[in-house]
């Protein structure tokens, strides 16, 4: 398991596309026949992994956007990043 370093810059793995089917969000890669199911938080984090922002900056953006959830956001970002990295849809530069 990869330890998530929030100072590093995550970027989306090329070739994945996002799709919403009913209430589920998923990422798929047709060449790899891979599908990864995401909740709304993980999907927002995946979208923010543009290779420009560090995970710390992503955490700060989400904390500013959702101040009522500020206490849980850092934990949620680490958990979501772990899920995204483990499934190969995000890598760190």
- Output the pLDDT for position 16: 93
Model confidence pLDDT, tens digit, residues 55-81: 999 999 999 999 998 889 989 999 999
Percent of the chain having pLDDT more than 70? 98
Domains of the chain, start order: 10-92 (1.10.10.1150)
- Output the pLDDT for position 65: 93
Q: Rounded to a whole number, what is the largest CA-CA distance in the chain?
A: 40
Q: Confidence band (pLDDT; 50, 70, 90) for 1?
A: low
Model confidence pLDDT, tens digit, residues 82-93: 999 999 999 987
């Amino acid at each position: 398991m990869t330890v998530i370093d929030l100072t590093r810059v995550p970027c989306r793995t090329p070739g994945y596309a996002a799709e919403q089917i009913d209430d589920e969000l998923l990422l798929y890669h047709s060449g790899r026949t891979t599908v990864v199911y995401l909740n709304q938080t993980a999907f927002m984090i995946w979208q923010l992994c543009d290779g420009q922002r560090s995970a710390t900056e992503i955490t700060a953006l989400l904390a500013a956007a959702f101040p009522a959830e500020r206490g849980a956001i850092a934990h949620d970002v680490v958990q979501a990043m772990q899920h995204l990295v483990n499934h190969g849809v995000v890598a760190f530069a």
